[in-house]
Amino acid sequence: MIRELTPDDAAQFKALRKRAVDLSEGGFAVALDDWINKSLDDIQEMLRQEQDSLNDFILGAFVDGQLVGMIGFFRPTKPKLSQKGHIWGTFMTPEWRGQRLAGKLLDMLIQRARKLPGLTQLQLTTSNQYKAAISLYRSRGFRVFATEEQVIRVGENIYDELYMTLNL
């Protein structure tokens, strides 16, 4: 089942986000410490605010009640920037990759974004190492419009960041 996350999902969301940061070398620029130190109350409040917003939401993929995947959306509220929406935090647990859940999450986000008045474009960034994710985005019509070289360093590994866009 795919649905928007609610404050009741805060504990599972926090755990999944931690797992995403742990497993995704170069894929999440956020420091793990920044995420771990967020209180459950802070995460519940964030999810509560997003529930009441047209401009922010997080979708989750659930299997037998367990959150196994996520994708986030935000839209700037400034009028000169509000034509663009941004995808963030896409992650699927390794045991559920290849099961088409990530595609369903992305499709639901795109469908929901297309209903937002004045939204004409979606953008995202992804590390150049995530070939399956890049392939998924391309299959939905996203294209690379820029590459920022050597943007993320994890130990000795250095990754480029691809900027992708989809015109709605």
Q: What is the CATH number of the domain that holds 49?
A: 3.40.630.30
pTM given for the model: 0.90
Question: Are the beta carbons of 168 and 121 closer than 8 angstroms?
Answer: yes
Enter the tokens of residue 22.
């742990």
Q: What percent of the chain has pLDDT over 90?
A: 70
Mean pLDDT, rounded, of the chain: 90
Residue 162 is part of which domain span? 2-167
Pairing of strands 2-4, 121-127: unpaired
pLDDT in tens, 79-138: 898 999 999 999 999 999 999 999 999 999 999 999 999 999 999 999 888 899 999 999
Q: Count of domains in the chain? A: 1
pLDDT value of position 28: 60
